[in-house]
Amino acid sequence: MITTDAQRLTLAGPGLTPWSASWPAHVPRSLDYPTQPAWRLLEQSVERWPDRVAIQVIDHSSGLTTQVLSYADLWLLARRVAATLPLYGLRAGDRIAFYMPNSAELIAGIYGAWLMGGAVVT
């Protein structure tokens, strides 16, 4: 059984799951999560490390890097997406789904949707 509250996700406890008795001692039974939105974590990364690599796209067949985005680049793309989504009639509180392959653009889209107050669904 998984229980949640505002800041804690409990993965296992005595008697909660069949595997509780064998839960490894070095693995925490609960995780603390920040109370801030995920886009704020990106914004803080931009403030601290604007030029560091945030996303590196590697071609699966050649192993070569095809695209690199810094935190500043990703933040800029996310803000552009956040500004563009309302032009398509989307607003804060709307559910937003992206139908596209895994890519840097998808990550920017997700952050942009969160920035404008949308809820990304899969």
Q: What is the pLDDT of residues 56-109, one digit of tens each?
A: 999 999 999 999 999 999 999 999 999 999 999 999 999 999 999 999 999 999
CB atoms within 10 A of CB 51: 10
**Nearest Cα to 44, choosing from 31, 34, 55?**
34
For residues 15 and 47, membership in a common domain is answered with no
**Based on the structure, what is the number of domains in the chain?**
2
Query: Structural domain of residue 11, as residue ranges?
Result: 1-33
Residue 14: band (very low, low, confident or very high) from pLDDT cuts 50, 70, 90? low
- The pLDDT of 2-7, averaged and rounded, is 49
Amino acid identity for residue 92 in this structure: A
Q: How far apart are CA 118 and CA 2, in angstroms?
A: 26
For residues 40 and 91, membership in a common domain is answered with yes
DSSP classification of residue 22: G
